[in-house]
Structure 1
Amino acid sequence: MGANGLANGSSSLSGSNGLNGESSKRYASYLANSNRYEAVDRMLDRRGPWTDEQFVGGSEAKAFLRQKAKILVIGAGGLGCEILQNLALTGFSDIHVIDMDTIDISNLNRQFLFRESDVGKSKALCAADFIMSRVPGVKVTPYHGKIQDHAPDFYMQFAIIIAGLDSISARRWINATLVNMVDEENEDSLKPLIDGGTEGFKGQARVILPTITSCYECSIDMLTPPTVFPVCTIANTPRLPEHCIEWASVLEWPKTFKDKKLDTDDPEHIEWLYQKATARAAMFKIEGVTWQLTQGVVKNIIPAIASTNAIIAASCCNEAFKIATTCAPYLNNYMMYTGNSSIYTYTFEHGKRDECPVCGGEASLVRISKDWTLEQLVEHLKEAQEFKLSRPSLSSESGPLFWYDPPGIYEATKGNLDKLVFDLLGPEGGAVSVTDKALPAANLSLEIQFE
């Protein structure tokens, strides 16, 4: 199905097929407050210079947008709060939101749907209650839990899905789920995914049409790798407050507490690291160690900027509005924003990756040296930006090469780690199947070739 097929689908969805009792009540509420959407109506009552040829407009588009377009928002944090607000004020009236987190006091400076009295409560439930109390006629259905707890049938009910997530693994999962849901014989099985993300003063918004455009997994190598400080620097010549904090967490904690695992969510553990890092910073005359910085370094927290959230959320909701009404062309397919030194945006079409393990039809080609051991190949799969694996288990056509789990197979295959891949696969290389908990799909197919 092509892009025009989506436009046709959106156009047909905008048709008036009758409203149920609850929708009729919401529609009556809309009519009673019709001036609320006066500015939006101007875009739906007439064609514009860039309007899609499938645009219907008028009462049918309004009825679909405000009565029948069921939209799911994944995440009710800094980005999700902005998205929920924008959707409600744009005219979407059947909104669903899912989030597994509870509200922390530190959320209140940017997640404006919450109040101090909400601390400890579910983000999804509180966000839903707040939106419904402030925007009459809008129904927000909350779900407190993980997105992985819901089967594909759950996601099939929505017209559009917007992700405001801060988790790479969750993004990879929902992306793979929506790609796997697509049935060529069922046009309604294609669910547009609008993905938004922020990192300090930077952000991105993209439109993913599963199996048509590039998916999230196609661009996994664009992710910023985590900051890693050399052990020799943090152990001998620290120059930054971050070096002192890393020294306390990486070297001093295991030295002092042996087998006790560091819990980055435990305030007492953070306090211990903060005191140790402060003392070490004083020895080297380094300033800037704070409790907040200590927590940020050990949890790899990137400061959230409210204005960035607002800009990216606005972009995501604009795309949802355009897809739902066909009043203007939607993004094709990637928008980047930077606001650290000025305000700059750039849009481009991110191409599909043929060897993408989720939407591609080809195996990923990996060229290695003939003197590589299996252990080197395993480490390469962990470190390479295009894979980002954690505990890869490998199999060839002849059977397991190396498996982390279960323990019995691990013991039987760990001896292969010291062997050359050349000896294990043969001089022509060959196909290797990889499984890993970080993979959104069932497995990753590799084609090994020797340089």
Structure 2
Amino acid sequence: MNGQTHPETVDWPNRYYHIDQILDRPGPRTDSEFMAGDAVKDFLRNDCKILCIGAGGLGCEILANLALSGFKDVHVIDMDTIDISNLNRQFLFRPADVGRPKAIVAAEYVMKRVPGVKVTPYFGKIQDKDESYYMQFNIIICGLDSVEARRWINATLYQMADAENPESIKPLIDGGTEGFKGQARVIIPDVTSCYECSLDMLNKPVTFPICTIANTPRLPEHCIEWASVLEWPRIHKDKKLDTDNPDHIGWLYNIASARAKEFSIEGVTWSLTQGVVKNIIPAIASTNAIVAASCCNEAFKIATTSAPYLDNYFMVIGTDGVYSYTFEYERRPDCPVCGGESRNVDVNREWTLERFIESLTERQDFQIKKPSLSTSTPTVAGKTRLYFQAPPQFELETRPNLEKKLVDLVSEGGEISVTSTSLPFNLTLRIHYV
């Protein structure tokens, strides 16, 4: 297909018969602004521009649903290429597509199967695009498996939003799955809670103590962690472990298997090795289908105002039967994205700067990795840089501060600005000593 469109295709009679049943007349719960008839159908099919972020398990389902629901101007972003392990649930891909970019293949397949729909792919990261790119869309749907990417797009859309310019407020529909569990939510900047508000709901990443994996492994995961965390750097020195490289995964699998045999531990497999080092969460096709359907249903309602959109959180659990529930996730007053104010933090007077940094990385509601700290308020030491991870000269210059007490660096009520590669915004903390 090479990305070509079908301008010559004309909709045949009754192509959207079932959808038109919704758009031709108002229903009992229809929004008061809903204008039934040709105008809303024309907007949906000709004017509405929608972005799908992710073309994996959720993204494939979302793209197909959007195309079949009448959205004809769809864009998709994904930075991954197709792996053979994707084929059991990412149904837009075939064995011949392995190694090709997901976004491009998904776009080609949808346009081939659904005439008249234009799908514009981008093979790369969402961070490659600026605000002007996201401003062109009416709705954005996330089918991501990355917390960092979700936080970035959430913060970006909130930074774009201007109350005096309604066109700048872009609805974000976020879907996520974990095994038989899934969720969908509607995020409207300056109206609903944002993704950052619910960060402390996420499961904490599983970590294993170094002493356990080095000396007394008991689980196959311990052996795999030992191979990746301790043996890989010992053997390969400065060579970076590429978790997408089959040769690297194969090396870890062999080393972990030998370690497991030594301690009479069973269960080390190739898939488990890949799952541990890449932190892979099992994906279930049926869960993807349910959550994608919910996301696209919300997109359809927002685009057409034919029914009230979700307010604002939907969850489904399929472990024992099927259970679903909706509720309003309230805004967090001290949310660093939508709260608009600096965050008050209690700090032990005896803590060193290093201990304070550790406390930040341990907090579930921040999810910060390798933070750099500075302050714009007058400090006891009279310096603005507290500790910088990079560049090297700044790290060397600020390293002595790690051993100093924070109370000797920042005054009571002083503000600290925290930046990190995992943080898509500057986090401002107001210090209170206890």
Is the pair's TM-score, using the shorter chain for normalization, greater than 0.5? yes
| Equivalent of 2:61 in 42, 60, 82 | 82
Alignment deviations for residues 87-124 of structure 1 (CA, whole Å, 9 cap, x no partner): 11111111111112222222111111111121222211
CA distance in 1: counterparts of 2:7 and 2:394, whole angstroms? 60
Equivalent residue for 1:336? 315
Match of 1:420 in 2: 405
Query: Does structure 2 retain, via aligned residues, the 8 Å contact 1:75–1:97?
Result: yes
Structure 1 counterpart of 2:368 = 389
CA distance, structure 2, for counterparts of residue 89 and residue 212 of structure 1 = 29
1:146 matches 2:130: no
Q: Per-residue displacement from partner, 1:113-152 (whole Å, max 9, x unpaired)?
A: 1111212222111111111111112111112222112121
Counterpart mapping for 1:20-419 below 5 A? 29-30=10-11, 32=12, 34-396=13-375, 397-398=377-378, 399-419=384-404
Rounded to whole Å, the distance in 2 between the matches of 1:418 and 1:80 is 47
User: Mind listing any 5+ residue stretches in structure 2 that lack a counterpart?
Assistant: 379-383
- Identity, in percent, stands at 65
Cα-to-partner distance string for 1:354-397 (whole Å, 9 max, x where unaligned): 22222221111111111111111111111211111112121221
Of residues 413, 422, 425, the one that matches 1:438 is 422
Q: Give the match's secondary structure for 2:91.
A: coil
Q: State the one-letter code of the partner of 1:57.
A: A
Q: How far did residue 164 of structure 1 move?
A: 0.8
| Mapped partners of 1:94, 1:411: distance in 2 | 51
The 3-state SS of whatever aligns with 1:425 is coil
In 1: Cα distance, 2:34 partner to 2:298 partner: 15
Deviation at 1:77, TM superposition (A): 1.0
Q: 1:234 touches 1:246 (CA, 8 Å); kept in 2?
A: yes
Q: Distance in 2 between matches of 1:37 and 1:386?
A: 45
Structure 1 contact 358–440 (Cα < 8 Å) conserved: no
Q: Give unpaired runs (5+ residues) of structure 1.
A: 1-22
* Paired residues of 1:319 and 1:330 also in contact (CA < 8 A): yes
Measure, in 1, the Cα distance between the counterparts of 2:397 and 2:218: 46
State the one-letter code of the partner of 1:424: L
How far apart, in 2, do the equivalents of 1:412 and 1:199 lie?
Answer: 43
2:400 is matched by which residue type in structure 1? G
Q: Which residue of 2 aligns with 1:13?
A: none
Tell me the amino acid that sits aligned with residue 422 of structure 2.
A
- Matched position secondary structure for 1:391: coil
Cα deviation digits, residues 257-305 of structure 1 (max 9, x gap): 4444333223222222212222222233322111111111111111211
Partner of 2:432: 449
1:222-242 per-position Cα deviation (integer Å, ceiling 9, x unaligned): 221111122333233333221
How many Å apart are 1:341 and its aligned residue? 2.4
CA contact (8 A) 2:6 2:118 kept: no
Indicate the SS of the match to 2:409. helix
Structure 1 equivalent of residue 381 of structure 2: none
Instruction: Provide the rounded CA distance (Å) in 2 between the counterparts of 1:292 and 1:410.
Output: 39
Runs of 4 or more, structure 1, over 4 Å off, are: 23-26
Shift in alpha-carbon separation, 1:269–1:161, aligned structure 2, 3 A: same
Change (3 A) 1:406 1:255: closer
> Matches of 1:117 and 1:267 in 2, distance apart?
18
Residues of 1 paired with 2:37 and 2:124: CA distance?
A: 38
User: Secondary structure at the residue paired with 1:440?
Assistant: strand
Whole-angstrom distance in 2 between the partners of 1:359 and 1:429: 22
Amino acid at match of 1:138: V
Q: Deviations over 1:187-208 (max 9, x none)?
A: 1111101011112222111101
Letter in 1 for 2:431: I
Deviates more, 1:251-260 or 1:132-141: 251-260
- Over aligned residue pairs, what C-alpha RMSD do you find? 1.9
Q: Tell me, yes or no, if the aligned pair for 2:6 and 2:115 is still in contact at 8 Å.
A: no
Distance 1:190 1:304 in 2: 32
What code does the residue aligned with 1:198 have?
A: T
Distance (Å, rounded) in 2 between the aligned partners of 1:56 and 1:447: 49
Identify the structure with the greater helix proportion.
Answer: 1
Deviation at 1:25? 5.7
Provide closer, same or farther for how the CA distance between residues 406 and 241 of structure 1 changes in structure 2, counting only shifts above 3 A.
closer
Query: Tell me, what secondary structure is at the counterpart of 1:142?
Result: strand
Q: What is the alpha-carbon distance in structure 2 between the residues aligned to residue 49 and residue 332 of structure 1?
A: 18
Greater CA deviation, 296-305 or 261-270? 261-270
Alpha-carbon distance, 1:24 to partner: 12
CA distance in 2, matches of 1:158, 1:215: 19
Structure 1 window deviating more from structure 2 (146-155 vs 243-252): it is 243-252
Partner of 1:287: helix, strand, or coil?
A: coil
| TM, length-normalised to structure 2 | 0.93
Contact 2:145–2:176 (8 Å) recurs in 1: yes
Q: Secondary structure at the match of 1:29?
A: coil
* Residues in 2 aligned to 1:158 and 1:214: alpha-carbon distance in whole angstroms: 21
Aligned-partner residue type, residue 74 of structure 2: I
What SS is found at the alignment partner of 1:226?
A: coil
User: 376-385 vs 247-256, which deviates more?
Assistant: 247-256
Q: Tell me by how many angstroms 1:162 deviates.
A: 0.6
One-letter code aligned to 1:413: T
Are the counterparts in 2 of residues 368 and 449 from structure 1 also a CA contact under 8 Å? yes
- Secondary structure of 2:316's aligned partner: strand
Is the Cα contact below 8 Å between 2:6 and 2:116 reproduced in 1? no
Which residue type is aligned with residue 133 of structure 2?
F
Structure 1 residues 291-344: Cα deviation after superposition (integer angstroms, max 9, x where no partner): 111111111111211111111100000000000111111011111222222211
